[in-house]
Amino acid sequence: MTAMALVPGDAHPQLAQAVAALLREPLVPTLISAFADGETRIRIEAEVRDADVYILQPTSTPTNERLMTLALLAEAARAAGAARITAVVPYFGYARQDVRGNEGEPRSAQLAARVLRCAGIERLVTLELHTPALESAFEMPLVHLQADGLMLPAIRNRNLPHLTIVSPDAGGLRRAQRYATALAAPLAVVVKTRPGADVAVALQVLGEVRGRVCLIVDDMASTGGTIAGAAQALLEAGAAEVHALFIHAVMAPSALERICAASVRTVTTTDSVATAPDARVQLVSIAPLIAQTLARLARRPAIRSEATHVQES
């Protein structure tokens, strides 16, 4: 059996440690520092020759540095003779820039995928890309995970009465539909416009929400504007309460304050990116999902944990 090597990046050491503990595998020690001029310096400080290497590194803030660190770790493993390199990127940055909005703009998501492929990464594991269409951007096998198996129990444990699942925009309708079906709840959508980057204006609510407890389901919160705007529209439409669930807490400063100021009662998210503990946020760990997936890929004994939903392409 090929040796398994878990290589942690610098973006989320807590998640890497949790995954390693579930797999009962040690983390490969790495040196990640910078030269005086700011260039990233990488060294893998253990033998990985002929090993099945898994590099765990979400490309969250600061996105450019995290992406470059991931690429350099892959290059270091390749140069050290790794048998295979898999990148475990729970949050894939640049995923929102997969189409050209205007002439002269790049398709940043596709470029980021090519950078990783050129660095020697042969397979990528990620969680809930911003759009499923982005799967075609990867010139390598892709394991695209969904967090439903972890998030649905968290919702059920809240025992929210008269529940309606809400998509904050048309783009997230498929995800919201999955949750509505699983919870046997009606579905609503907030129609909005986006006049600029990171700016969303809610217009109207499609679906009956009057007197209902509404749960907004989204893939991420960045500025918090989309969720806050949707919450305001729902309350104006007569919703009794509003709660929020999103997968990636890619939150800029004041994002959580903006969400809570919009009378959102509870916030549920995952630890796909490093997130500071906050009493207002229920944090659901994705470590069991990642560990279970890596055990399957490495053909190791299954990890006992909650059910998961995996899509592989």
**Token pair 């006992």: residue:** 304
Q: Is the pLDDT of residue 122 over 60?
A: yes
Give tens-digit pLDDT for 42-86. Answer: 999 999 999 999 999 999 999 999 999 999 999 999 999 999 999
pTM, whole model, 2 decimals? 0.90
DSSP E strands in 24-129: the ranges are: 30-34, 40-44, 52-56, 84-89, 123-127
Degrees to nearest 5, angle at CA 124 with 119 and 129: 120
Summarised one tens digit per residue, pLDDT across range 132-177 is 777 877 889 999 999 999 999 999 999 999 999 999 988 889 999 9
Strand 241-248 and strand 213-220: the pairing is parallel
Residues 130, 197, single domain; the answer is no
Joined together, the tokens standing for residue 172 give: 């997230």
Full residue range of the structural domain in which residue 273 is found = 148-284
Q: What is the pLDDT of residue 170?
A: 84
* 112 and 222 share one domain: no
Query: Is 232 noted as a catalytic residue in this protein?
Result: no
Give Cα separations from 70 to 32, 64, 236 (angstroms).
Answer: 11, 10, 45
Q: Where are the alpha helices (DSSP H) in 9-142?
A: 13-23, 63-79, 108-118
Please indicate, yes or no, whether residues 125 and 170 belong to a single structural domain of this protein: no
Burial of 266 (0-12, 13-18, 19+ CB in 10 A): middle
Residues 176 and 132 in one domain: no
160-146-253-61 Cα dihedral, nearest 10 degrees: 170
Q: Are residues 154 and 130 in the same domain?
A: no
Cβ within 8 Å of residue 303, ≥6 positions away: 22, 23, 288, 291, 292, 295
In tens, the pLDDT along 175-210 reads 999 999 999 999 999 986 666 665 556 578 999 999
CATH of the domain at 252: 3.40.50.2020
Q: Read off the amino acid at residue 255.
A: A
In residues, how long is the chain? Answer: 313
8 with 98, same domain: the answer is yes
Nearest CA among 182, 185, 178 for reference residue 161 = 185
Instruction: Please check whether residues 196 and 141 belong to one and the same domain.
Output: no
154 shares a domain with 262: yes
Q: How many domains does the chain have?
A: 2
- Cβ-based neighbour number of residue 30 at 10 Å: 19
- For residues 35 and 87, state if they share a domain: yes
What is the C-alpha to C-alpha distance for residues 307 and 249, in angstroms, rounded to an integer? 22
Which residue among 192, 212, 243, 248 is the active-site one?
Answer: 192
